[in-house]
Structure 1
């Protein structure tokens, strides 16, 4: 993939995020349905609603920079989803619940890196409104990671106390 400019790099990053967020809509439904731990399941369902807003914001960002929203395949998110499907096909119960939390954390870390990069690029290229929109989503992704990390810690404490 040859990229001629930083502007193109920004657009490619946005296209990858657009793809990622749309793929995660279905994945979050799956995580919510598969997770027996009520609070964690509810957290996935709530983050799905937030992810719908992220898709809408990305569409607004494309508009702000004068580009049509397009998706660019992102192999990392595809691999995360495939890895989860394989694990979920062979496991259930508490092990799957904890794995789902871990999968959510991996995904959030990846999204934070992606949003951090495009937010910085948008700002450097003078797309201030786009950068502000992206920054808002970046903060929400960081908050989602914090919530998942706390859920993982609580889950682990409950499992240790139950053993």
Structure 2
């Protein structure tokens, strides 16, 4: 990837996030369906609905930066989804629940980093409206990570007590 400007980095980053969020809408539904632990299942389900909103918000970001909505494949999210599919074929129950929480946390960390980067780029490029929209999603991703982390801690506590 060769680029000449902050704006190009911003556009590519938003395109990658647009792809990521679209992939995660389906992946979060799968995680919710596969997870037996109720707190994690609920977190996945709620974040799936929120993620659909992120897709729509990214369309507003594209408009704010004067670009047509377009995806750019992101191998990181593809690898996380593929790795999960393989694990889920070979495991179930408690191990799958624990793994699902873990992969959810990994995904949130990735999204937080990506949104942090594009938010900064949007601000630097003078796209204040886009930066505000991206910042809103960044905060929601941080909240989702916190909720998943709490669900993971509760899950671990419930297994110690069993």
Into which bin does the TM-score normalised by the smaller protein fall? over 0.9
Counterpart Cα distance in 1 of 2:42 and 2:147 = 12
Aligned residues: 162
1:145 aligns with 2:145: yes
Q: How does 1:53-92 map to 2 (within 5 A)?
A: 53-92=53-92
Q: Which runs of 5+ in 1 are unaligned?
A: none
Q: Which residue of 2 aligns with 1:14?
A: 14
Counterpart Cα distance in 2 of 1:63 and 1:81 = 29
Q: Which residue of 2 aligns with 1:98?
A: 98
1:81-129 Cα offsets, whole Å, 9 max, x none, are 0000010000000110010000000000000000000000000111001
Counterpart Cα distance in 2 of 1:4 and 1:68 = 20
Q: Which residue of 2 aligns with 1:44?
A: 44
1:67-87 Cα offsets, whole Å, 9 max, x none, are 001000000000000000010
Larger RCO: Structure 1 or Structure 2 (Cα < 8 Å, ≥ 6 residues apart)? 2
TM-score after normalising by structure 2: 0.99
Counterpart Cα distance in 2 of 1:100 and 1:83 = 11
- Residue 20 of structure 1 and its aligned partner are, at CA, apart by 0.1
Counterpart Cα distance in 2 of 1:23 and 1:111 = 12
Q: Which runs of 5+ in 2 are unaligned?
A: none
1:70 alignment partner, SS class:
coil
1:107-156 Cα offsets, whole Å, 9 max, x none, are 00000000000000000111001000000000000000000001000000
Counterpart Cα distance in 1 of 2:155 and 2:37 = 9
Counterpart Cα distance in 1 of 2:57 and 2:95 = 35
Q: CA RMSD in A?
A: 0.5
Q: Which residue of 2 aligns with 1:154?
A: 154
Provide runs of 4+ in structure 1 moved above 4 Å: none
- Residue 24 of structure 1 and its aligned partner are, at CA, apart by 0.2
- Residue 4 of structure 1 and its aligned partner are, at CA, apart by 1.7
